[in-house]
Structure 1
Amino acid sequence: MFEAVARLTSFSAAAEELSITQSAVSHQIKQLETYLGEPLFWRSGRVVTLTDEGRQYFDAIGSALLQIERASEQLLGHEESRLRLSVFSSFAVRWLVPRLPDLQRLHPQIDLALEMSSQNPVLSDRVADCFITIYTSAPAYSYEHLYTERLFPVCSQDYWQRIQREMGWDTEPDARSELVISPEQIAQFPLLSTHSIFNRPAGDWAAWFRAVDQSLPGGARVQHFSHMLLALEAARFNQGIALTNDYMLSTRKDSEDFVRLPAHAVVTGDKFYFAWKTSRRRERGIQTLRRWLVDEAIRGGLRGE
């Protein structure tokens, strides 16, 4: 009953889910609080919120109840594993979602629900069962490395033709492989910047120029976007040159719309990990998903063997 109230933040919703009366739920919660000697909820009218002690207790018992459920399903012969994966929106849209049909074909027993996040979520069973994250500071979790991010400049096929014309380059096929575009030449064109990578205006392009001991030119034309997905779309529609990473151009059919410019890449310092609670390490569904993600990351070139 406590788990239902904490998850639904409502005594009445918990009562409806458990098919009992609200007074029965309230009575049991009071008994539990008396037994533990701690208040588990703050009550303000119909609003119910967890106390600090209640939140700590919920994190612990939520995982335990889930393990009981999984053990019961295995004993009953139910192979289905229902998992919630919290994942960055760009990673989900550009890398994970196109691969989900293969996951469903290879492991039909896994019922995967995606929880999209724009920032690093708090690692907790209340949020999801497992995570794609760049932080490894939660001590109760285990981590599997998937990708070390690097940024490189791209533009559309049409825009690349424009760059070659303005640079006066020979566009014969044999000559293209020898082309190298310098930072100074790139700065002559509109730069599409993603704010969320370094959380400051033009931080991505500043880092890219800094990688070769240069500064972002003061006269550079920079167009700002909050998210890499937006910057990449602007590049697709011939608005300039964007910095993107490997997974954004991985396996999507529209990846052929873009040209990776013959220039250097910069490592951002962000590393992407698959994270799961160590106490749930024996759950078959989590380990199956972990192995599949690692295999796909290797196959797609995000990480080595």
Structure 2
Amino acid sequence: MNLPPLRALACFESVARLNSFSRAAEALHVSQSAVSHQIRQLEEYLGEILFLRQGRTLSLTPEGQIYYEQIADALKQIEHATDSLQGRTHKQLRFAIISSFAVRWVIPRLPALQQQYPSLDLSLEMTTGNPVLSERMADCFVTLSAEQRGFTCDLIYREQLFAICSQRFWRRLCQQLKRTEDLNVPLSAEHLQAFPLLSAYGFFQRAGEDWRRFLGAADATLTPEARVQHFSHTLLALEAARHHQGIALTNDYMYNAPHDPDLVRLPCHTCSTGDSFYFAFKTSRRDEPSIQLLRQWVLSEARISGLLTAT
């Protein structure tokens, strides 16, 4: 059996996953020089350079990347088998989540998760964009990518946009339009443009595109006269709406009526963004108890909160 030095292999996995010699040394409870020695030993054994070091920048070589992807699963399986044999189930699980989903949906539910599964040690990794499905980043993910080889993806939510504003702004809107405050009386898309529109770049990566598409879904057009306030992130637009600055677009995981009594969902149409959110994990790790616990919890909460039925 042609096996490399296992200690060197463990060091390589840690450096590749953490993208840092110093962080790997800290995780392995050894010195940085010891990690460097093990990597050199492995490179000599393999006859390949595994890392490129340019100043403070560290990256895997193409050969190193291929090797990491091939050995990471094997090391995880060895670790899982060892933990099971020794009766150890406590293990930190890294969960990478898109920032808005993390702040507005996951974090408010964490106390319930911790109470239900006290042995689950969860580490949240918040990402500004769609996370790369790689064990170098995390063990589980919330992603917009439904198909990636080697990963299982469970649908959580198909995104829909709708309009909201503060209670105070709603009263002002009704007074200006001379209409009732009854939320059962529909509000036309054209009427919205008489008021400041709070636009979030994050939905479509283009200024004002969220409102163009939302109005277009009702066969209306964003007029040049419309007052559009631009924000880089959906969380900023939501906070501006909360402070009576205009009408924002949001979705089902960003807005929770019982916990947002100061906000009003306007009685008008919805618009699909075309994005779907998935819970993802490496298929080869499907039997790991911690991953299955988190998977079942996320899917259950998605059903309870209505995300899986919000289409």
TM-score, structure 2 normalization? 0.89
Aligned letter for 1:133?
Answer: T
Residue of structure 1 aligned with 2:147, choices 133, 137, 141: 137
Task: Quote how far apart the aligned CAs of 1:288 are.
Answer: 1.1
Q: Does 1:192 align with 2:198?
A: yes
List aligned pairs for 1:42-61, cutoff 5 A: 42-44=52-54, 48-61=58-71
Whole-angstrom distance in 2 between the partners of 1:15 and 1:82? 18
The AA in structure 2 aligned to 1:93 is: V
- Give the match for residue 218 of structure 1: 224
Q: What's 1:38 paired with?
A: 48
Instruction: Answer with 8-17 or 49-58: which moved more.
Output: 8-17
Q: Distance in 2 between matches of 1:113 and 1:252?
A: 28
Q: Are 1:62 and 2:62 counterparts?
A: no
Aligned ranges 1:85-234 → 2 under 5 Å = 85-171=95-181, 176-234=182-240
Structure 2 partner of 1:267: 272
Structure 1: 5+ residue stretches without partners = none
Per-residue deviation at 1:84? Answer: 0.6
Matched, 1:279 2:284: yes
Deviations 1:229-274 (A, max 9, x none): 0000000000000000011113772x11110001000011000000
1:299 to 301, 304, 307: 304
Aligned residue type for 1:195? Y
The equivalent of 2:3 in structure 1 is none
| Cα RMSD (Å) | 2.3
Question: TM-score if structure 1 supplies the norm length?
Answer: 0.90
Q: Write the distance in 1 (CA, Å) between the matches of 2:235 and 2:277.
A: 17
C-alpha contact 1:40 1:53 (8 A) present in aligned 2: yes
Structure 1 CA distance, aligned partners of 2:37 and 2:183?
A: 75
CA separation in 2, counterparts of 1:258 and 1:46?
Answer: 47
Are 2:245 and 1:235 equivalent residues in the alignment? no
Identity fraction in percent: 52
- Alignment equivalent of 1:248, drawn from 251, 254, 276: 254
Q: What amino acid does structure 2 have at the position aligned with 1:278?
A: T
AA paired with 2:236? L
Among residues 84, 89, 95, which one is paired with 1:74 in the alignment?
84
Alignment length (residue pairs) = 300
Moved more, 41-50 or 137-146: 41-50
Question: Are 2:262 and 1:257 equivalent residues in the alignment?
Answer: yes
Taking the aligned partners of 2:271 and 2:55, their CA distance within structure 1 comes to 54
Contact 2:18 2:136 in 1 (8 A): no
* Matched residue type, 1:208: F
